[in-house]
Structure 1
Amino acid sequence: MRKLVWMACLAYLLAGFGHIIIGSVLEPMMDAYQLDYRDGGQLIMNQFLGFLVGVLFAPLVIKVLGRRLVLLLALALFAASQLSLFLMLPWNVLLAVIPLGGAGLGLTETVLAGLIIGKLKEKKASIMVLTEVFFGVGALAVPVLSALLIANGNWNMVFLVVGAAVMVSFCLWLFLRFDDYEPLLTKEAVAGADGNERPLKARYPKTSLPLVLFGSIFFFCYVGVEMTFPNYLPSILAMTSDLSPSVLALSITVFWGAMTIGRMIMVFVVGKINVATLFLLAVFGQLATLGLFAISPHYIISFIVIFFAGLLMGGIFSLGLLVVNEGLPGLEDRTTSLLIAMGGLGGALLPRLTGSLLDHYSVQITLLVIFAFALVMTALMFLIFHFRKRLFREVGKGGSERISEVG
């Protein structure tokens, strides 16, 4: 199993590269193409729309091809998008190709998450946490590489380096075999797994719909902010300071480095502090740090706030999944898919909105809008707690006591 786990970690490392790489070189890319931030936001949005399609269609493609072939297809699509970016193809061509790379990312993450959660019998939680840590390491490392290449005037080389790493992973998935776990990657094993379909046929009781609705909106906002904030950090700081492009790119590294640390810390504290309390602290921490960033008077303070924002936001996604799913027992698969899909939609649309704001309004307006989303998420958190507690009472669970202090 160890070999399979490390291959999954490598895939999530590459996914971390893919989600952040465009933002890490957005400034020099826009200069090279002589375009504005709205166009950059469109490119990021197209990638996340592709990601959303990959997430939604992954179960169907798995049934047709099997997990190994889906992973190979996903990695090939991702590598092709990186090659297109390296070659600096015409902008309209990039807008058409980038969604394919996003679909590759969506397929990769969905296939491996489903494999770990639905098929592995041991250490599911620890393996999922480990893959998330590798995702964070990827998101942390690629801006460092981008900063070095930007400083040398070869910013587009970052796409060639990442594309080569993706092809190495492609070859490993093609030739490696995983002993007892090999049947999990074949078409027959996946097509015959009835358990994957049963949760999707379940229906939400009417009393649970408010929790589903507010949870979905929360994830739409959160993933949108999580993707928008780091991707536009170099651009925002460029408007509020005189830092060099290579230093600006490091702002993304600070954010994702702190987010990775936050996720690692969560592994050790989640068993000692209940999930609802951790969720409350993380969401309030996000609100406070994004508010401080909006009014920061100096870039040094901004970098400090960026670090604490990443540290506190690192656990929101997984904690949110746990909080919402605890209120909907028996519907975990369907709920998780819905929340991830809504998150993907937010990650596609909010960068576009942010790019337009930067083009037409002052940077301060953009910062206030990001803070407003954090404020909305705080309100949604309390609504989630309220309807979650009500569902606990209706089903006669004692779990309502666990959130009595924060609900």
Structure 2
Amino acid sequence: MRKLIILGCLSYLAIGLGHVAVGAVMEQLVLNYRINYETGGQLITNQFLGFLAGVLLAPWLIGNMGRRASIVLAFVGFTVAEAGYTLEPGWWVMLVLALIAGFGFGMGEACIGALVIDTLGDRKASTMSLLEVFFGVGAFALPAAAAWLILRGHWLLTFGTVAVLAAVVLALWLFTPLGEAEAHMGNRRQREAALAAGKEAGKDVGAAAETAAAQIAAAAQPAKAPRFGYARLDLRLLLLGAAFFAVYVGLEMSFANYLPTIMGRKAGMSASSATISLSLFWAAMSFGRLFVGRITGRVGYRNFLLACCVFTVAGFAVLSLLNEAVGATVLIIATGLSMAGIFAMALVYLNEAFPDKVDRTTSILIACGGLGGALLPKLTGWLLDAYDISTAMWQFTGFAAVLLLLMGLIVGEQGRLRRRRKDMAAQPNG
């Protein structure tokens, strides 16, 4: 599975670059296209609407085309869109390209995340943390590169850099054999046949195969399951998880995409220096993710996620009160560390409640994240145009508090759901 992990890491690196590319050069986009921040925010909104479409279509495409073909399609769209940005087309073309870019990295992220959770068994938490580290490295490196390019007047090459890496990853997905993981790369029928063949031959394909077999068994008995695929008692947890991901991704992307603008206005930084603050935020996220697997192994997903949400609220609250560059920079780093493991560990934590629906649950949660990522940056752009920086900053604090509330509700619902299932299993049949 080593090739799969390496390829997954490179994919998340490219996706990390794509997520922050627009935000890293937002000031230049506003100036060159002579638009306001709310209009500039539409580019981010379109990117996340495309992201939402890609994630929602991922389970259907995986079932019919297979995982490899779906990932290849995702990176084709991603590469073409980023290359198109580089040409500085008209604004309406930029908006269309944003939809295509979002579709590409949204579907890629959903397909690869579900593949890792489905195939790597006990290593899924540590591997998801590693993928998120590489996502963070991409998100950290891109603003630093953008700052250098801005200083030299070549800011459009920011998008060209992303396009080149996306093209390399596309080629690797096309031509790299993945060994054991190949059994999980086809469409639904191909995966079922490969797993059945492995079972007949007496091969142990590990915990990942057991998960896949459970999915196939569940799919073979549709009459016993609700049409939507989730039992009624599961839906409350799923809805809470969906809301959590919408708020988290919206908060992360709003803050990241407008951070250079915020630091320029709040602390009087130059355009290139303000862009470096975004690199520091993602550097802190990447550094924190190196330790997420080890920490959750000791304290558990629940305690880890609750603590991260508490520190995130505190970080945004204090940052809202600071106007001095050094102090604000320290708080940006602290907030990045607090948020470092939330996305990956929440994804694993919620999937534990639905072990036979990994592809679908992952897609729903990431899709809702995409919805939040589409709506909240639009709100932030409007606040920056209509009000002052302090209003936008306190908005971040408010959404962080909502995040903490939702995680508390998720923890409570997880416990109730676990007890209900235990009681149902203990009841005598008939």
TM-score by length of 2: 0.86
Equivalent of residue 378 in structure 1, options 383, 404, 410? 404
Name which of structure 1's ranges 130-139 and 107-116 shifts more when overlaid on structure 2. 107-116
8 Å contact from structure 2 (residues 15, 109) kept in 1:
yes
- 1:6-32 residue CA offsets vs partner (Å, 9 max, x unmatched): 122111110110111110111112111
Cα distance in 2 for partners of 1:283, 1:337 equals 23
Name which of structure 1's ranges 216-225 and 388-397 shifts more when overlaid on structure 2. 388-397
Cα distance in 1 for partners of 2:181, 2:358 equals 24
Partner residue, 1:405: none
- 1:184-240 residue CA offsets vs partner (Å, 9 max, x unmatched): 434562485775563795654444443333232222111110111111101111112
- 1:273-300 residue CA offsets vs partner (Å, 9 max, x unmatched): 1222111110000100011111113121
Cα distance in 1 for partners of 2:124, 2:326 equals 40
Partner residue, 1:151: 151
Partner residue, 1:367: 393
Q: Secondary structure at the match of 2:18?
A: helix
The alignment status of 1:347 with 2:348, answered yes or no, reads no
Equivalent of residue 306 in structure 1, options 318, 332, 338? 332
- 1:350-398 residue CA offsets vs partner (Å, 9 max, x unmatched): 111111111111111111111111122222222223333333333348x
- 1:90-122 residue CA offsets vs partner (Å, 9 max, x unmatched): 000110121111111012112222322224567
8 Å contact from structure 2 (residues 38, 381) kept in 1:
yes
Partner residue, 1:95: 95
The alignment status of 1:271 with 2:272, answered yes or no, reads no
Cα distance in 1 for partners of 2:10, 2:353 equals 33
Q: Secondary structure at the match of 2:291?
A: helix
Cα distance in 1 for partners of 2:383, 2:87 equals 29
Partner residue, 2:427: none
The count of residues paired between Structure 1 and Structure 2 equals: 397
- RMSD over aligned Cα, in angstroms? 2.3
The alignment status of 1:38 with 2:64, answered yes or no, reads no
Q: Secondary structure at the match of 1:243?
A: coil
TM-score by length of 1: 0.90
1:206-285 residue pairs with structure 2 within 5 A?
A: 206-285=232-311
Cα distance in 2 for partners of 1:123, 1:383 equals 27
Q: Secondary structure at the match of 1:271?
A: helix
| Runs of 4 or more above 6 Å deviation | none
8 Å contact from structure 1 (residues 64, 191) kept in 2:
no
Q: Which segments of 5 or more consecutive residues in structure 1 lack a partner in the other structure? A: 398-407
**1:337/1:107 CA distance change after superposition, 3 Å:** closer
Cα distance in 1 for partners of 2:107, 2:409 equals 32
**1:190/1:50 CA distance change after superposition, 3 Å:** farther
Partner residue, 2:190: 189
Cα distance in 2 for partners of 1:275, 1:194 equals 26
1:126-141 residue pairs with structure 2 within 5 A?
A: 126-141=126-141
8 Å contact from structure 2 (residues 59, 359) kept in 1:
no
**1:260/1:98 CA distance change after superposition, 3 Å:** same
Cα distance in 2 for partners of 1:363, 1:248 equals 14
Question: Which amino acid is the alignment partner of residue 332 of structure 2?
Answer: I
Partner residue, 1:55: 55
- 1:49-98 residue CA offsets vs partner (Å, 9 max, x unmatched): 11111111112222333333322221111111111111100000110121
**1:195/1:97 CA distance change after superposition, 3 Å:** farther
How big is the shift at 1:330? 5.2
8 Å contact from structure 1 (residues 62, 190) kept in 2:
no
Name which of structure 1's ranges 135-144 and 163-172 shifts more when overlaid on structure 2. 163-172
Q: Give the % identical residues.
A: 39
Cα distance in 1 for partners of 2:184, 2:243 equals 34
Question: Which amino acid is the alignment partner of residue 148 of structure 1?
Answer: W
Cα distance in 1 for partners of 2:332, 2:365 equals 26
